[in-house]
Amino acid sequence: MTEMRAPTTPDTHPSTLPEARPGAPPRPRSLVLALVGSGGDGVALLGDLLLGMAAREGLYGMMVQSYGPQIRGGESAAILRLADHEVQYEGDQVDILLCFRLRDLARFQTSLRVHPGSIVVIDQGETAEVPAWLGATIEKPYRFPFARYEEGLEVDGPPKNMLGLGLLCRMLGWPDTLAQDILRQRFTARRERLQSNLESLATGFAVLDPPSRPAPEGKGLGLFAETGNEAVARGSIAAGLGFFAGYPITPSSEVMETLIDELPAAGGRVVQAEDEMAAMGMVLGASFGGVHAMTATSGPGLSLMTEMIGLSSMAELPAVIVDCQRAGPATGMPSRTEQSDLFHAIYGGHGDFPRAVLGMFDVVHGRDVMPHAFQIAEKYQLPVIVLSDAYIAQRRQIRDPAVARRERAERERWTPENGLPARFDVTGEHGVNPFRVPGTPGGSYLAAGIEHNQEGYPTADTTMHQRMNEKRFRKMTGIAAETRDWYRTLGDGAAPKGIVAWGSTYGLLREWVIAHPEWRVFLPEIIHPFPMEAFQSWRRGLTSLAVVELNYQGQFHRYLSGLTDLRGAKSVARSGGTPMTAAELDRLLEEAGS
């Protein structure tokens, strides 16, 4: 039987930050916190509040969540990294681990590690030992009465996450007023809940002599936090989005949720369709009417949309599709990340049809990549797929509030004054003809998914089919020329070893390459068509090359091998659903002989 316990009521109740203890450790430049609990413990809310407080302090940071496929319940974790500089990778080891129940730790064996100086905070009633797989710390676990028990069963008590919030404020050296302000902002319309939370916050903050691990020093200027999905939604609005249709699916749903809140004010419309195929059909209908249109989904939804994506290319209707990749085929692991939709994005579909594929680097890039996607879709009148993933989509990241203005992408319009050519004239530059919006006097034409002649009428003429394919695929040469500088490089351009990667691996490599000056990195923003000229120039002088990615088959390595001679290049790929760590990358490169 578990001993009945109740939260300790301290003798003193400090309401402001106490003075730092003599000999307290100096402020670090970066700090990693991990919060672990069960469904209902409010781990995600606790992490979100802490990140919001960090942003107010002028700190940079990010938070990633890890949870199971259960709709309700199950274990969950939030990992935060706070720093005095911009970060896009949560780090390899945890400095402070706060765990409400030790049994919940087991599910995170692949994503949590402590180091000798780590502080582990557990419930006062825990009788189990901290598991050995977590790593070694010389600090004894700090015990706090998060839960109340009666006859061995946990009963309702103060919210654990609010107790934890107060305790962490003390440990990090933040005043309780900072937490009070952000709680008042969060619970403005729920006064009873606010009061209860403030009382629990005070209880946690009042604990005497907790272990200290000061937070990094912020700039003192408030920064801004958003998720990758929110950045995609806002970047799309900035690019002129007028219509969105989608169906909720993890991990992309927040794109639609954000647009429901914000697109109507910008003059646009949002529709939740009955399924993904219907959503893609609505997007093409809106595009047929001359409106900038997009959808967002995940792998299973992309599969359902694929036939309609072919229609987008055949009927030359601009469309933007955001795919937030999850792990695995079929339903897979909805809450886990992977880069395994690359083949589908580049090759998926029947018949031959051109499309462009872009990769998203991080949350900040979400605001930039969407205008680029609309720029290509509208100018070349074809589908553009943007590959995000769960690691970016649901990561909340602190960023500078300033966002560069982007020019709205425009589609070339046909008017009666400019006369011919026909809607699908095969001689147009890069295969693109002025778009005829339905209802324009004299601009009527037939649009369908069936092969057609230059006026849009169905045809089974094999010669015309060949000429139409040539016309449609000439768009790719124009896109390749326009996007030849859509890539990023990291490290010393003269370094002897090279890594080529894409997407969310950028965050890890950006920090990893600083500690590995013998490496240089190439990351394309546009994956298809690939910026080959820049890549060939970048790889000159390399003694070794590794292709790093998060999928089982090494899809990016195989794709590049089909474009150029990659003999000697090593494929460094793994699946598993979790982002690669710096230590793991070191090991995989060594095993690959790179």
Residue 391 CB contacts under 8 Å (≥ 6 apart), including other chains: 64, 337, 504, 579
Compute the Cα dihedral for 235, 237, 242, 243 and give only its sign.
positive
**Does the CA dihedral 333-334-337-340 come out positive or negative?**
positive
In the structure, how many helices (H) and strands (E) does the chain have? 16, 22
* Tokens describing residue 14: 């400090």
Structure tokens at 296: 């967002």
Q: Alpha-carbon distance 354 to 218, whole Å? A: 47
Residues with Cβ < 8 Å from 142, sequence gap 6 or more?
119, 120, 121, 122, 210, 211
Q: Quick: pLDDT tens for 67-92.
A: 765 545 578 899 999 999 998 888 89
- Percent of the chain past pLDDT 90, that is, above it, reads 77
For residue 83, what pLDDT is reported? 96
Q: Which of 549, 537, 453, 449 is nearest to 499 (CA)?
A: 549
Give pLDDT, residue 409.
84
Strand pairing partners for 520?
Answer: 491, 498
DSSP 398-462: EE-S-----PPP-PPBP-GGG--S-TT-TTSGGG---B--TTSTT------SS-B-TTS-B---H
What pLDDT does residue 23 have?
Answer: 55
pLDDT at 559: 98
Please enumerate, as own/partner, the contacts of 62-65 that have beta carbons within 8 Å and a separation of 24 or more.
62/87, 62/88, 62/90, 62/363, 62/395, 62/396, 62/397, 62/398, 63/395, 63/396, 63/397, 64/90, 64/391, 64/394, 64/395, 64/579, 65/394
Query: What stretches of 275-320 show up as alpha helix (H) in DSSP?
Result: 276-288, 299-314
C-alpha to C-alpha distance for 591 and 574, rounded to whole angstroms: 13
The pLDDT of residue 2 = 33
Q: What is the pLDDT of residue 3?
A: 32
Q: Quick one: pLDDT at residue 109?
A: 86
Q: Are 382 and 313 in contact (CB under 8 A)?
A: yes
d(CA 389, CA 328): 12
**DSSP conformation class of 141:** P
DSSP per residue over 227-248, as a string? EHHHHHHHHHHHTT--EEEE--
Q: Give me the residues of the chain with pLDDT under 70, please.
A: 1-25, 68-73, 403
For residue range 416-438, what is the model confidence (pLDDT) as tens digits? Answer: 887 777 899 998 789 999 999 99
User: Nearest to residue 312, comparing CAs of 378, 359, 398, 227?
Assistant: 378
Token pair, residue 467, equals 């000429």
* pTM (whole model) above 0.75: yes
CB 177 within 8 A of CB 102: no
Pairwise CA distance, residues 23 & 541, whole Å: 51
